[in-house]
């Protein structure tokens, strides 16, 4: 669900050295220009590979860490229906992480290495998951806003030039729609409920609105690598274009809910056909990315704990698989011996 434009290319993109490299790059670019998909074993520039590894693994990590804030509410969901829905949603996020790790692996990085990068804090994940889920309304706000922003980001990636990433994204986007709708439904129930419930929904919107806008990444003026990513068709729209689109569709939804968006500068601009909005506090975004959001340490701690506490299960499964293989091969060689004996007995029988 939760890709975020973190604006990072793997390496500075130096043009390839040598005539051969230049020829391959030219051919690669012309394939991308012709909207052909690039597949794992095809030649690709090293910087393209590194950019994708970083983007896809960050995306995968975001899915996995994204299970935590919502998982927090599974045991306290207000009804059995809400609980079943939330479990299914969190399970989907886990599945999305798996699709994406599997897509990243086709680029030559191992899953172990990616997990290690997450657990050591070397890899980034979407800043949005470093905010806490304080009330049940936050579960609604996450579905409506965070998944909504994620969908906006992800739909263009379904047409990404790298085949395995594009295919994973098609699958993810199909599943994502329910996430956003269930979130809106929660918001609607609360907004139409008691005044305390309405207030809870408003409070959740107040806290999630700006972090959701930050999910689209730094403004285009600050985004140094957008141009290269667009040329490679990893990215199809700029951060600001997607953010604007998100605001344009979300503002009327908030009005329908009877909730107010916490931005005094938000207003409809007839001339441009878009909503104008206030300045985003990018210092907050940078602080969260650097590890100083409200929950950064807690999130990583939870991942490490899960990894450590699950170690014995993985070891047991590996030992069991090893034992089964040993048994199967012992059984096979015993059968071979029996067959050879039978064969030799039969041959002797013929001769006697």
Rule CB under 8 A: which residues touch other proteins?
39, 41-43, 88, 91-92, 95, 98-99, 102-103, 105, 110-112, 115-116, 119-120, 167-168, 175, 304, 307-308, 311, 314, 317-318, 320-321, 324-325
Q: CB 311 → other proteins: shortest distance, Å?
A: 4
Question: In this structure, are residues 157 and 342 in contact, taking their beta carbons and an 8 Å threshold?
Answer: no
User: Facing residues of 38 across strands?
Assistant: 162
Q: CB 74 → other proteins: shortest distance, Å?
A: 17
* SS3 call for 271: coil
Tell me how far apart the alpha carbons of residues 113 and 8 are, in angstroms, rounded to a whole number: 19
For other proteins, give the closer residue by CB, 282 or 320.
Answer: 320
Provide the token pair at 74: 């599974």
Q: CB 99 → other proteins: shortest distance, Å?
A: 6
Q: How is the chain split among helix, strand and coil, in percent rounded to 5?
A: 70, 0, 25
Q: Kindly report the backbone phi and psi dihedral angles of residue 175, in degrees, each rounded to the nearest multiple of 5, phi listed first.
A: -85, -20
Question: In this structure, are residues 37 and 81 in contact, taking their beta carbons and an 8 Å threshold?
Answer: no
Provide the token pair at 54: 């970083």
For other proteins, give the closer residue by CB, 87 or 287.
Answer: 87
Q: CB 71 → other proteins: shortest distance, Å?
A: 16
For other proteins, give the closer residue by CB, 225 or 299.
Answer: 299
Nearest 10 degrees: CA dihedral of 242, 247, 249, 251?
170
Question: In this structure, are residues 4 and 96 in contact, taking their beta carbons and an 8 Å threshold?
Answer: no
For other proteins, give the closer residue by CB, 110 or 333.
Answer: 110
Q: CB 108 → other proteins: shortest distance, Å?
A: 13
Q: CB 67 → other proteins: shortest distance, Å?
A: 14
Provide the token pair at 323: 């034992």
Q: Report the Cα 136 to chain-centroid distance in Å.
A: 23
For other proteins, give the closer residue by CB, 41 or 265.
Answer: 41
Provide the token pair at 42: 């095809």
For other proteins, give the closer residue by CB, 230 or 318.
Answer: 318
For other proteins, give the closer residue by CB, 93 or 138.
Answer: 93
For other proteins, give the closer residue by CB, 22 or 319.
Answer: 319
CA–CA distances in Å: residue 269 to residues 99, 212, 240, 274, 276: 40, 22, 17, 6, 6
**CA 144, 148, 152 angle in degrees (round to 5)?**
170
Sequence-ordered strand ranges (E) for the chain: 267-269, 274-276
Q: CB 15 → other proteins: shortest distance, Å?
A: 22
Q: CB 339 → other proteins: shortest distance, Å?
A: 25
């Amino acid at each position: 669900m939760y890709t975020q434009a973190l604006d990072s290319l793997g390496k500075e993109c130096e043009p390839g050295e040598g005539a051969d490299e230049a020829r391959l790059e030219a051919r690669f670019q012309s394939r991308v220009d012709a909207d052909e998909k690039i597949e794992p074993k095809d030649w690709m520039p090293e910087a393209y590979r590194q950019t994708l590894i970083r983007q896809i693994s960050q995306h995968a990590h975001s899915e996995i860490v994204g299970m935590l804030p919502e998982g927090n509410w599974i045991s306290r969901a207000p009804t059995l229906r809400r609980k079943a829905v939330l479990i299914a949603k969190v399970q989907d996020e886990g599945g999305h992480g798996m699709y994406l790790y599997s897509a990243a692996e086709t680029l030559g990085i191992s899953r172990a290495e990616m997990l290690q990068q997450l657990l050591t804090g070397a890899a980034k994940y979407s800043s949005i998951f470093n905010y806490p889920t304080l009330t049940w309304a936050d579960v609604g706000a996450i579905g409506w806003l965070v998944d909504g922003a994620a969908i906006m980001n992800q739909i263009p990636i379904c047409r990404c030039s790298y085949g395995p990433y594009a295919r994973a994204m098609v699958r993810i986007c199909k599943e994502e729609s329910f996430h956003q709708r269930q979130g809106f439904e929660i918001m609607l129930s609360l907004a139409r409920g008691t005044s305390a419930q309405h207030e809870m929904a408003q409070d959740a919107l107040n806290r999630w609105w700006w972090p959701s806008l930050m999910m689209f990444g730094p403004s285009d003026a600050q985004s140094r690598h957008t141009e290269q990513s667009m040329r490679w068709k990893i990215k199809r729209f700029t951060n600001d274009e997607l953010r604007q689109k998100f605001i344009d569709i979300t503002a009327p939804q908030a009005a329908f809910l009877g909730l107010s968006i916490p931005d005094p500068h938000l207003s409809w601009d007839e001339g441009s056909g878009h909503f104008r909005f206030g300045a985003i506090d990018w210092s907050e975004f940078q602080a969260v990315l650097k590890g100083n959001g409200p929950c950064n340490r807690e999130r990583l701690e939870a991942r490490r704990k899960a990894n450590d506490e699950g170690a014995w299960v993985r070891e047991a499964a590996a030992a069991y698989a090893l034992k089964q293989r040993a048994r199967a091969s012992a059984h096979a060689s015993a059968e071979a011996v029996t067959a050879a004996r039978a064969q030799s007995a039969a041959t002797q029988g013929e001769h006697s």
